[in-house]
Structure 1
Amino acid sequence: MSVQATFFDGTLPEAHPAEIYLDDEVIRITYASADGFPHTDTWLVKKTRLADWHPAGKTRLQYGSFPHQYLDFATADYQAAVLPRYAGRPLTQVSKRLWVQERGFLTVLLITALLIALAWGLYVYGLPALADRAVELIPPAQEQKLGEVLYKQVISEERLPVDPARTQWVNAYWQAVGLPTRFPGQITVVKHNEINAFAIPGGHIVVYDSLLNRMSRHEQLAALLAHETAHIEYRHSLQQLTRSVASYAVLSLLFGDVTGLMAVLIDNAHSLTSLSFSRDKEDQADAFAVEALARQGIDPQGVVWMLHVLPKEGKLGPSALSTHPETTERLAAATKRIQHVRIMAAGAGQQRRLAELWQQIAGQTNKAHH
C-alpha cells in the first residue's frame, strides 16, 4: 500500500514530496533529491514515533535519533492508511496520543458537562437532604426561640395588622380543643384580604381574617389549626425554610455556626407566608388533622368542610394555600380517611364551650363586615 507524504531527511530543511510504501515491519520512502536522482529510505516501524509538534492539518512522524527524519501526512490520509495498517503495533501508541491531541477539546467539554451535571444533582438533591439534616440538629427549645424571632420579623416585614379580639377568641378556642402538641400553639389573626394561613417553626400560626370570614362552623377552624399544627409538629415549615436558603444554611451548620444558621433563616422570614409544601407533606398534615379532630371528639368532617372554603383551583393568589395540592385531590383523600377513623366521644361541657367560643369568633367576624 502506498500513500503520499512530505519527507524531511534530517540534514537539510528541504521538503521532498514522497511516495510512501507501507509494509508490516518497515516504511519505505521514495523521493527525488535536490540533484534530481531518486532516493529510497527505509524506516523500521518499531522505531517510528509521533512527533511532539504537528503542522496545521498534518500528522508528523519522526524516526531515529537526532537529527530526526520526519514524514508529514495529511491527517486524513494518516488515519485512513497508516493507523489501520499498524493496529496493535508500536504506531498504536502514536494513534492514542494523536486521538488525545485531536479530541482533547471535546474531552474537556465532556468532563466539564459531567461536572456541571454532578454539581446540579448535588444542588437539587444533595442540598435539600443536608438541609433536612440541619433541621434534625436544631433542638426544639432552640426552634421555639427561633420561631419567636421569625414571628416578629414576618409580622413586621409583611405589615400584617393583628386583630386582637379575634386573636384572643381563636386562642381560647384552640386551648379548649385541647390537642396535645410538642410545641405550644400560639395563633394570631391578622387583617388581610388574602385567603391564607401559615405555620411558623416553634408553634406560631398566622390566620388571615379573610379565610376566617369564609367559615360557617367551628369544625372548619379546628381542622385548619390542626393542619397547620401538623406542619409545626413534623417541622415541615422549618425544613422548607431551610431548603429555600439551603446553601447558606448548610454551610453555617457544617462550620458549626448555629448562630449563623439562625441569622440566615431570620433574614428569609418573609418567605414563610408563601412556603410551598410537597404533596406528601400536605397529605401528612391533612391526615394529622382528621385523626386529631376524631381523637378530641370533634367531627373530622371539619377537614372536608374546611377544604370547601378554599378557593377553587385556578383562582388562587400567591398565598401559601395556593401552593397546596389541588383541593379536589385533598377532598377525596380526606373523605376516604374519615370513613375509617374512630371518633371519640367528647364531653358535653367541651362541646358547649367550643360552640360558645365559636359564637364569639363568628360575632367578631360579623362585626368586621359592618
Structure 2
Amino acid sequence: MSVVQAAYFDGTLPQAHPAEVYLDTDVIRITYPNAEGFSQTDAWLVQKTRLADWSPTGKTRLQYGSFPHQYLDFETVDYQSVVQPRYAGQPPTRVGKRLWIQEKGFQAILVIVLLLIGLGWSVYRYGLSALASQVVELIPPAQEQALGNALYKQVVTGERLPIDSARTRLVNAYWQAVAVPARFPITITVVKHKEVNAFAIPGGHIVVYDSLLNRMTRHEQLAALLAHETGHIEYRHSLQQLTQTVASYAMLSLLFGDVTGLMAVLVDNAHYLTSLSYSRDKEDQADAFAVEALARQGINPQGVVWMLEVLPQEGASLTSALSTHPETAGRIAAARERVQKVTIEVTGAEDTRQLNSLWQRITDQRRALSSY
C-alpha cells in the first residue's frame, strides 16, 4: 500500500482538507481532520474514481461520486511518480474516455452533445454576465458564507495585506451601531495599503484599505461606504463577477450542477476580488441600497454623495471595486437625486453620540499617508 499527501475536498465545503491518501488495490483511503478536528477516513472505489476535466496549476485532480463531487488534488509530480504507476492500466481514467462511456453509454454522449449546444447557446443568448447570475443561484447562502470565509483567508494572505487591528475593531463596532439589516453577518477588515480601495467578498466580508479611510472627514462617509459594499453582498454582485472571471468552468457547473467544483475554482482565483469592476447597473444598485439604508437608520444619506466625492476622479489611477467604472461624476449626480427622494428616520441623541464617539476614535487612529 502506497501513501501520498493530497488536498481533499469532501463535497460539503469549498475548503480543502490536508489529507494522507492510502493507495490500495481496489480502494483509495483518505484520512483527514474533519471540521471538529477529529481524524476521519473516507474510502473511494478505484473503479468509480476519475480524472477531473480541470486541475489547478501544478496539480492533478481526481474526482469521485455524484453531485456534490469529491476531489483529491495531488502535486502532479506525486501523481505521476506514485499514483499513476499504482493504477497503470486501471482507473482512474479521464471523464469521456472508454470506461466512462461504457458505464454511461448513450447518456454520456447525450450530455456531451447538450454541453456543446448549451455552451454556444448560453454565450449567444445570455452573455457571460447573465450566465454568472444563473450559476450563482445554484449556491445556497450557507455555502456562499463558507466560500466567503475561504476567499477572505486566501485574498488577505495571498495579497499580503497587513491588518490594522485597532481600526478593524473600531470600524466593526461602528457598523454594528449603524445596524443595517443584512442577510449575512458583515465583518469588516481594515488593511494598511497605499491604494484607495475597498471591496466586498461573498458571504459577508468587507475589506477597506486605510488610504481610503484616511480621506474621509465625516462618519456618514464611512457608513455610506460600508452600506455600499453591503449592497454588493446582498445582491451577490461580487460572487457574480468572480464567477464571470471563470466563465468556462461556470458553464460546466451550470450544466452538471457541480457547485463544489466551481467553488474550489473560485477560491483558486480569489486574487481577482481586489480589482473587480462592476457594471453601471450593479453600482447603481449598491449606491441606491446605501442611500436607503442610511435614511432608514437615521443617518444623513448625503453621506453617499460625500463618500463618492473622496474617490479619485476620472483619469486617476484606481484599482478598486469603487473604481471610475461607471464614471464617478455620474454616480454622484444619481446619488443626489436619490437623497432628495428619501425620508430620514428620526433616531435618538444617544445613537448619534455613539456614532460620533466611535468615529472620533477611528480618526484618532489615522495614520499619515506619508508613512508609506
Q: Distance in 1 between matches of 2:122 and 2:364?
A: 53
- Deviation track 1:13-68 (CA, whole Å, cap 9, x = no partner) reads xxxxxxxxxxxxxxxxxxxxxxxxxxxxxxxxxxxxxxxxxxxxxxxxxxxxxxxx
| Counterpart in the other structure of 2:19 | none
Output aligned runs, 1:1-370, within 5 Å.
119=120, 122=123, 125-366=126-367
How far did 1:306 drift? 0.5
Report the 3-state secondary structure (helix = DSSP H, G, I; strand = E; otherwise coil) of the residue aligned with 1:361.
helix
How far did 1:157 drift? 1.1
Q: What 5-or-longer segments of structure 2 have no aligned partner?
A: 1-115
Q: Aligned pair in 2 of structure 1 residues 323, 252: CA closer, same or farther (>3 Å)?
A: farther
Q: Distance in 1 between matches of 2:147 and 2:124?
A: 26
What is the TM-score with the length of structure 2 in the denominator?
A: 0.65
Contact 2:122/2:131, CA 8 A, preserved across alignment: no
Contact 2:313/2:324, CA 8 A, preserved across alignment: no
What is the TM-score with the length of structure 1 in the denominator?
A: 0.66
| Counterpart in the other structure of 1:13 | none
How far did 1:125 drift? 3.5
- Deviation track 1:183-204 (CA, whole Å, cap 9, x = no partner) reads 1110000000000000000000
Q: Distance in 1 between matches of 2:290 and 2:359?
A: 18
Contact 1:127/1:250, CA 8 A, preserved across alignment: no
How far did 1:244 drift? 1.1
- Deviation track 1:334-359 (CA, whole Å, cap 9, x = no partner) reads 11111111000011111000000001
How far did 1:243 drift? 1.0
Q: Aligned pair in 2 of structure 1 residues 275, 123: CA closer, same or farther (>3 Å)?
A: farther
Contact 1:128/1:246, CA 8 A, preserved across alignment: no
How far did 1:122 drift? 1.8
**Which structure is higher in RCO with an 8 Å CA cutoff and minimum separation 6?**
2
Report the 3-state secondary structure (helix = DSSP H, G, I; strand = E; otherwise coil) of the residue aligned with 1:172.
helix
Greater Cα offset, 166-175 or 121-130: 121-130
| Counterpart in the other structure of 1:100 | none
User: CA RMSD of the aligned region, Å?
Assistant: 2.1
AA aligned opposite 2:338: R
AA aligned opposite 2:228: H
Q: Distance in 1 between matches of 2:167 and 2:185?
A: 19
Report the 3-state secondary structure (helix = DSSP H, G, I; strand = E; otherwise coil) of the residue aligned with 2:126.
helix
Q: How many residues align?
A: 255
Q: Aligned pair in 2 of structure 1 residues 121, 143: CA closer, same or farther (>3 Å)?
A: closer
Contact 1:253/1:261, CA 8 A, preserved across alignment: no
AA aligned opposite 1:255: F
Question: Looking at CA atoms only, which structure, 1 or 2, has the larger radius of gyration?
Answer: 1
How far did 1:323 drift? 4.7
Q: Distance in 2 between matches of 1:120 and 1:311?
A: 40
- Deviation track 1:69-111 (CA, whole Å, cap 9, x = no partner) reads xxxxxxxxxxxxxxxxxxxxxxxxxxxxxxxxxxxxxxxxxxx
Contact 2:300/2:344, CA 8 A, preserved across alignment: yes
Report the 3-state secondary structure (helix = DSSP H, G, I; strand = E; otherwise coil) of the residue aligned with 2:329.
helix
How far did 1:257 drift? 2.1
How far did 1:368 drift? 7.8
Q: Distance in 1 between matches of 2:367 and 2:159?
A: 25
Q: Aligned pair in 2 of structure 1 residues 166, 124: CA closer, same or farther (>3 Å)?
A: farther
Q: Aligned pair in 2 of structure 1 residues 301, 128: CA closer, same or farther (>3 Å)?
A: closer
Contact 2:274/2:319, CA 8 A, preserved across alignment: no
How far did 1:124 drift? 8.2
Report the 3-state secondary structure (helix = DSSP H, G, I; strand = E; otherwise coil) of the residue aligned with 2:365.
helix
How far did 1:321 drift? 2.2
How far did 1:252 drift? 2.7
Identity across matched positions, percent: 74
Contact 1:303/1:334, CA 8 A, preserved across alignment: yes
Q: Distance in 2 between matches of 1:222 and 1:261?
A: 33
How far did 1:134 drift? 1.2
Contact 1:249/1:264, CA 8 A, preserved across alignment: no
Q: Distance in 2 between matches of 1:124 and 1:196?
A: 34
Q: Distance in 2 between matches of 1:166 and 1:160?
A: 14
Q: Distance in 1 between matches of 2:125 and 2:238?
A: 19
Q: Aligned pair in 2 of structure 1 residues 323, 238: CA closer, same or farther (>3 Å)?
A: farther
